[in-house]
Amino acid sequence: MGQARRSLQSGIKSTILGMVVNIVLAATKGIAGVVGNSYALIADAIESVSDVLTSGIVLLGLKMAGKPADSNHPYGHGKFEPLAAGMVALMLLGAAIVIAVESIQEIRTPHHAPAGFTLVVLGCVIVVKELLFRRVVGVGEEIQSTVVKADAWHHRSDAVTSLAAFVGISIALLGGEGYESADDCAALIAAAIIVVNALLLLHKVLCELVDTAPSPDIARDIRAVASRVAGVQGTHKCHVRKVGFDHFVDLDILCDPQLTIREGHEIAHNVGEALHAALPLVTRVLVHVEPVDDYGRRSRDLYA
């Protein structure tokens, strides 16, 4: 199994785990919110339901991104991954709007304070969602998946909204009469937090869709590996773009100008093989051979 396939399977497993947990949490929070008279908890349940839906989108995006290249998509289907992440961000914004509107209506409507047991429910939710966030974001970082990391931050936003609800309900219970709306104000704050997370996520998605260069460390590692290949006297251009789980590389190497075409081709092939072996996420490499002349030496010094 190749690195991309292993990454895909890891992403799918973490997403399914998140969906199962969110289904259980959404039902628990929804029931507790209705019975315990807490709109903040009901808002939290709505957020968990949106988590289930967005995890479904994540799952679909991962499966589409994992499809092999074909005649219509010679560079593969990796862009479906950030597209799915963009849909997750938009659904986060939608959930935030629903929560905000309902929170304002609840603030304007007199009602009883939430029941004390809702705090126990929220405490358990905060712990579970934070643990889930750490697991999923770890997978996302390991496989360098934008959509899996988006799913993870969705879990973190759920933990944050639960924390806001916990604080709001605590204020309502401790403050007594006149503080009943603290619960709903907490839900409104949670909606604002969700909006911020969604906008940050959209920014990351747009960066990947327009082929913004990934971390400079990747290009540095590529240059280091290529420079160790026999016959390579330096490197010039090194452009990297992320497509789904894969990194595509355009690299110029500097070689002896007296080499034959066949010898230059052999060195370029060896560079590609070395990069595949040392950096598994680099799946496609285009190597261009340049002679080490005065221009080449200046370029080598510049990019060393």
Write out pLDDT tens, residues 44-86: 777 677 778 777 888 887 778 777 777 887 777 878 878 888 8
Q: Which residues have C-beta within 8 Å of that of residue 93, sequence separation ≥ 6? A: 194, 195, 198, 199
78 near 148, Cβ under 8 Å?
no
Burial 170-186, CB ≥16 within 10 A → b, else e: bbbbeeeeeebbbbbbb
- Residues 46 and 37: their CA atoms lie apart, in Å, by 15
Same domain, 183 and 277: no
In this structure, the answer to whether residues 171 and 70 fall within a common structural domain is yes
Regarding whether 138 and 101 lie in a shared domain, the answer is yes
CATH of residue 279: 3.30.70.1350
- Each residue of 191-248: pLDDT tens digit? 888 788 788 888 888 888 888 777 788 889 999 999 999 999 989 889 998 887 778 8
Local structure of 71: helix, strand or coil: coil
Residue type, 14: S
Among 187, 209, 231, give the residue marking a domain's end: 209
Do residue 133 and residue 187 come from a single domain? yes
Into how many domains does the chain fold?
2
Which residues are paired to 252 by β-bridges? 288
Helix H segments across 210-293?
216-227, 261-278
pTM of the model: 0.66
**CA separation (Å) from 231 to 59, 257, 273?**
44, 11, 14
Same domain flag for 144 and 223: no
Domain that holds residue 287: 216-303
Q: Name the domain boundary from 171, 188, 209.
A: 209
